Amino acid sequence: MNEQTTRAVSDLGLDDMVLPFVVEPLESRGRVVRLGPSVDRILSRHAYPAPVARLVGEATALTVLLGSALKFQGRFQVQTRTNGVVDMIVVDFDAPDRVRAFARFDADNLARAIESGEASPAQLLGSGHLALTIEQGQENSRYQGVVPLEGQGLEEAAHQYFRQSEQIPTLVRLAVAENLTGEGSQWRAGGLMVQFLPQSADRMRQADLHPGDAPEGAEVHELAGDDAWTEAKSLAATVEDHELVDPTLSSERLLYRLFHERGVKVFEGQSVIEACRCSSARIEDMLRRFTPEERRDMVGDNGRIGITCEFCSTHREYDPADFDPV
Ligand SMILES: [Zn+2]
């Protein structure tokens, strides 16, 4: 056991943490995310039925895995728009540590899907697309990558995204569980991402190619995948769902289980909190941009404009007269 693995076995793991790591001999690095109270608050707040909660939990773990790589003050958003029972999911990660999420679904169609045994996360999504958006606050720059969803689920869609948009060989694993506790149940979510990032860009490009992809005349052995990435990917792929959501298994110990033969080095963990960024000031700004007539049209039976945040369900009420020009 070398020094790196010694450090990795220390039990520093806590819930709602992202732990970056590197497996130097395999030129691979990644992150593990373990979500406890944060994802439980998101899913319980909306009281999603269990199959919907599982899917939103997966989307939340994926968003935190990818968004926690942001090195600047910005926002990372994962959004699905599909024809399935859950036709929209939005998860926002505001760097460095805030996550929020909501989903839209049809309750009747969900009941039918459960009855016919077709309520897995991928089945609830159906077909459409997954959009990954990075917004960099101050410079106002925006980048969006889109991958089709065709029943393959979020893990595989994430692989496609990295293959097509970033050209980084990537493995993503996601898991969600509802643990029964004394007082009821608690949701947990976990995720693991491993990427092949060698010094040589050529090796990275070739790692995910198969012999069949070799251009005509090329020597196949040069393109037949990279041994380091093949090993990193197969070690990471042995992770079990229950390990990703086990509250008694620290992220360090989990990484040690997966990569101890090669030595894994962990970096400082980053915490994650469930937090919405809605505010009364923001809503008032928005209401001011409408005309007085438009604001009158928004008034409910009680004579006030009621606005409920889709993410955190906070309900706020406003008197339309307060926004009229004096
Ligand atoms: Zn809110």
For the chain, what are the domain ranges?
3-274, 280-323
pLDDT of residue 244: 97
**Ligand 1 centroid from CA 251, angstroms:** 30
**8-state DSSP, 182:** T
In single-letter form, the type of residue at position 211 comes to P
* Tens-digit pLDDT string for the chain (326 aa): 343 433 433 344 479 999 999 999 999 999 999 999 999 999 999 999 999 999 999 999 999 999 998 876 789 999 999 999 999 999 999 999 999 999 999 999 999 999 999 999 999 999 999 999 998 766 668 889 999 999 999 999 999 999 888 889 999 999 999 988 777 889 999 999 999 998 776 666 666 554 444 444 444 333 335 899 999 999 999 999 999 999 999 999 999 999 999 999 999 999 999 999 999 999 999 999 999 999 999 999 999 999 999 999 899 999 999 988 77
What pLDDT is attached to residue 204? 65
pTM over 0.85? The answer is: yes
Q: If you measure from the C-alpha of residue 312 to the centroid of ligand 1, how many angstroms do you get, rounded to a whole number? A: 4
* Superfamily of segment(s) 3-274: Hsp33 domain (3.55.30.10)
Q: Can you give the pLDDT at residue 80?
A: 98
Cα–Cα distances in Å, from 24 out to 4, 29, 251?
A: 10, 8, 18
Nearest Cα to Cα of residue 144 among 64, 99, 215, 78: 78
Quote the pLDDT of residue 185: 85
Q: Report CA(38)–ligand 1 centroid distance (Å).
A: 15
Q: How far is the CA of 276 from the centre of ligand 1 (A)?
A: 5
Give 268 Cα–ligand 1 centroid separation in angstroms.
30
Question: If you measure from the C-alpha of residue 100 to the centroid of ligand 1, how many angstroms do you get, rounded to a whole number?
Answer: 8
Nearby residues for ligand 1 (ion, Cβ within 5 Å): 276, 278, 309, 311-312
Q: What 3-state class would DSSP assign to 305?
A: strand
The pLDDT assigned to 216 comes to 47
- Residue 303 CA, ligand 1 centroid: distance in Å: 23
- Distance from first CA to last CA of the chain, Å, rounded? 75
What does the alpha-carbon distance between residue 204 and residue 222 come to, in Å, rounded to a whole number?
12
Instruction: For residue 114, give both structure tokens.
Output: 């459960």
Q: At what angle do helices 50-67 and 107-115 cross, to 10 degrees?
A: 100
Hey, what's the torsion of the CAs at 178, 149, 97, 34, to 10 degrees? 30
What is the rounded CA–CA span in Å between residue 58 and residue 174? 6
User: 318 CA distance to ligand 1 centroid (A)?
Assistant: 16
What DSSP state is assigned to residue 166?
I
The predicted structure's pLDDT at residue 325 = 79
Query: How high is the pLDDT of residue 226?
Result: 85
Q: Are strands 74-82 and 273-274 parallel, antiparallel or unpaired?
A: unpaired
User: Which pLDDT score is estimated for 70?
Assistant: 82
The rounded Å distance from CA 34 to ligand 1 centre is 23
Instruction: Give the distance (Å) from ligand 1 centre to CA of residue 5.
Output: 42
Taking a C-beta distance cutoff of 8 angstroms, is the pair 171, 231 a contact?
no
Distance 279 CA to ligand 1 centre (A): 7
Supply the pLDDT for residue 1: 39
Cα 126 to ligand 1 centre (Å): 27
CA–centroid distance, residue 90 to ligand 1 (Å)? 13
Look at the domain 280-323 and name its fold: CBS domain Like (3.90.1280)
